[in-house]
Structure 1
Amino acid sequence: MIHQHPLAYLIGLEGVALLRAFAGQHGEEFVAARLAEVRALLDRADELGSGGAAAELTSAEAYASWAAAYDEPGNQLLDIEGPLVRSLLDELPVGVALDAACGTGRHAEYLAELGHAVIGVDSSPDMLAVAQTKVPSGRFVEGDLAALPLPDDHVDVVVCALALSHVPDLKPVFAEFARVLRPGGSLVVSDPRGRLGDVGLPIVVSGPDGRPGYLVNRSRLASEYLSAALPLGFEVRHCEEPLRPSPFVDPDGVPPGAPGAAPPLTPSRTPPSIWSLHPLIPDAANAAYEGSPMAIVWRFQLTP
């Protein structure tokens, strides 16, 4: 169970922005504006609401509510991560490809276009159904990353996109990738970075019963991926950490990908929508997120 309070998040962003000013990135006028904004936020505490609690969901439960809309335009993370992953896939020879945690099949679809025979594995039946419609020739199977339903030495490429932040331990998952890959095969991994450095904020979503739930969203050090991959014989061929767009929120306070400013807040006892809060303090949000990585993208190769 977590408790998220909108005022706590906003004051937290102000604090990060002030620390950046303390480090010399902003001047006296910026500091004065942030302190005044903190006072104003404290005066609006009742208007912002008291936040609320959410219970932990499984990946399948969380993604069930996202399946229908996951591919809609405006997801800033997908817009940045997708081209980087596709550029790495373009370099690989055609063979049998596994899209592990395939979701709606956005990478499986591209692999099929490149000529690969595609297998998709995911824990969410709802996401798998969408993926199957995109790649009718693919084989899509419900399964777990730590126990992939495939034989040894079965595929030439494994892609695992934006999913490892949800698993508690990387090592058994990388061991499965190594097991199903043929020697010399490639592993392409992307993962989100914490919204604020190493802080992986839980993703709040409606649970199966309609009540707020959350999906764990870990932000890992690069060394954690390496300690899981290198002992298994993986070698690093590429690593990239794309930064968040700047400004993170435009001067009119519109969140990235949104068609217009967020609607006014209504006080509630439910966890806040992060995206609805950023427009309230655009200067602090921009300063807090400036220069922070949005994702990490790897290509490993399994040594023969």
Structure 2
Amino acid sequence: MIHQRALEYLLGLQGAALLRSFTEESDPGFGRARVAEMRRLLDRAELDVEPVAVERVSAVDGYRVWSRTYDEPGNGLFPPEEETVHGILGGLPPGTAVDAACGTGRHSEWLAGQGHRVIGVDGSADMLARARERVPSGEFHEAPLERLPIPDAHADIVVCSLALTHVRDLGPVFAEFARVLRPGGHLVVSDVSHELAAIGSVPRARIDGERPALLVDHRHRASDYLGAAVPAGLRVVSCAEPRMSPPVPLDTPAELPDALETGPWDQWPWSLISLTPEVCRAVTGDMPVLIIWHFRRDPDR
């Protein structure tokens, strides 16, 4: 069980800002202001509450709930992810495209619009139901990423978007991607950066409409992706890391507001970040929000 308290998150942001200022130029009062603000946070009685007990659930269980709202506007990761993915794949000749972990068919819809024959695979029946409605021309299967129901060397393109953070061992997944790709075929993988996940950006849901839960989350580094992809016969074409925002100077931020409305657990950490926006910018300035890989299958393998 995970235990989350608003107070501890806010103190953690202050501490992260202090760590950055320890090795970077900053306003002379920045460090003292952070320490003083931490003392004020500790004195706020409305923050001295019992932690929220949060369970860890599988992606299938989590997306069963999240599928109802997944396509609603407001997910800040979609625009930069789509811009990069579309830039890589736009202009390729129509062929067979596999949307692995297709979810509600966000990329399947775009690929079909580019003239590709789309095959979507996902482990969530609830997400697939929405994908089938969204892309009537697509072919969709319920299956895990480690066992794609697709013949060898069948696809010109494989896309896997914002899903591998839920996978512990990347080796079998990349081996499957390589297996279904034709020699010279393109693989594009996007994922949430491990740095963004470390500050709390992990999908959350209420199981049975009540129990707080975080989806299973594995924080892969670049070496994890490369260690799985290269032995499978996939070579790197490019790697992009869209950023949160430009770097910001470490100036002394404004003091805490008089009223601290932390918002419901469902809105954490974003409602908490809004209480100390300058400190958040100090922590997240220039932080990668995504990592997006473009691989091609070795034509000689």
Distance 1:227 1:198 in 2: 22
Pair 1:48–1:291, CA change in 2 (3 A) = farther
Q: Is the 8 A contact 1:197 1:293 kept in 2?
A: no
CA 1:18–1:101 in structure 2 vs 1: closer, same or farther (change >3 Å)? same
Q: 1:198 Cα deviation (Å)?
A: 6.0
Cα distance, 1:201 vs structure 2: 5.6
2:105 is the alignment partner of 1:110: no
Match of 2:283 in 1: 288
Cα offsets for 1:91-144 (capped at 9, x unmatched) = 433211100000111110110011000010111111111111111000111110
> Map of 1:207-246 to 2, 5 A cutoff?
207-208=207-208, 210-246=210-246
Q: Does 2:90 align with 1:90?
A: yes
User: Are 1:146 and 2:143 an aligned pair?
Assistant: no
For residues 59 and 283 of structure 1, what CA distance do their matches in structure 2 show?
33
For 1:202 and 1:145, the matched residues in 2 are separated by 20
* 2:245–2:287 Cα contact (<8 Å) kept: no
Structure 1, 291-300 or 212-221: larger mean CA deviation: 212-221
Q: 1:25 to 1:272 in 2, by over 3 A?
A: farther
Whether contact under 8 Å (2:200, 2:269) holds in the other structure is no
Q: Kindly, what percent of the aligned residue pairs are identical?
A: 49
Measure, in 1, the Cα distance between the counterparts of 2:66 and 2:198.
25
Over the aligned positions, Cα root-mean-square deviation in angstroms equals 2.5
SS of the residue corresponding to residue 66 of structure 2 reads coil
What residue is the counterpart of 2:99 in the other structure? 99
Say whether 1:273 aligns with 2:287.
no
User: 5+ unaligned residues in a row in structure 1: which ranges?
Assistant: 254-261
**In the TM superposition, what is the alpha-carbon distance from 1:205 to its structure 2 partner?**
1.5
Match of 1:259 in 2: none
**Which residue of structure 2 lines up, in the alignment, with residue 35 of structure 1?**
35
1:168 corresponds in structure 2 to: 168
CA distance in 2, matches of 1:38, 1:125: 45
Residues 1:6 and 2:3 aligned together: no
1:66 counterpart residue number: 66
Counterpart in 2 of 1:178?
Answer: 178
Aligned counterparts of 2:25 and 2:205: Cα–Cα separation in 1 = 35
Instruction: Using structure 2 for the length normalisation, give the TM-score.
Output: 0.89
Bigger mean CA offset, 279-288 vs 110-119: 279-288
Q: Secondary structure at the match of 2:274?
A: helix
Once residues 8 and 262 of structure 2 are traced to their aligned partners in structure 1, the CA distance between those partners, rounded to angstroms, is 15
Contact 1:5–1:50 (CA under 8 A) maintained in structure 2: yes
Cα distance in 1, alignment partners of residues 232 and 67 from structure 2 = 33
| Paired residues of 1:51 and 1:272 also in contact (CA < 8 A) | no
Task: Please say if residues 166 and 217 of structure 2, whose CA atoms lie closer than 8 Å, have aligned partners that are also in contact.
Answer: yes
Say whether the 8 Å CA contact 2:99–2:160 is kept in structure 1: yes
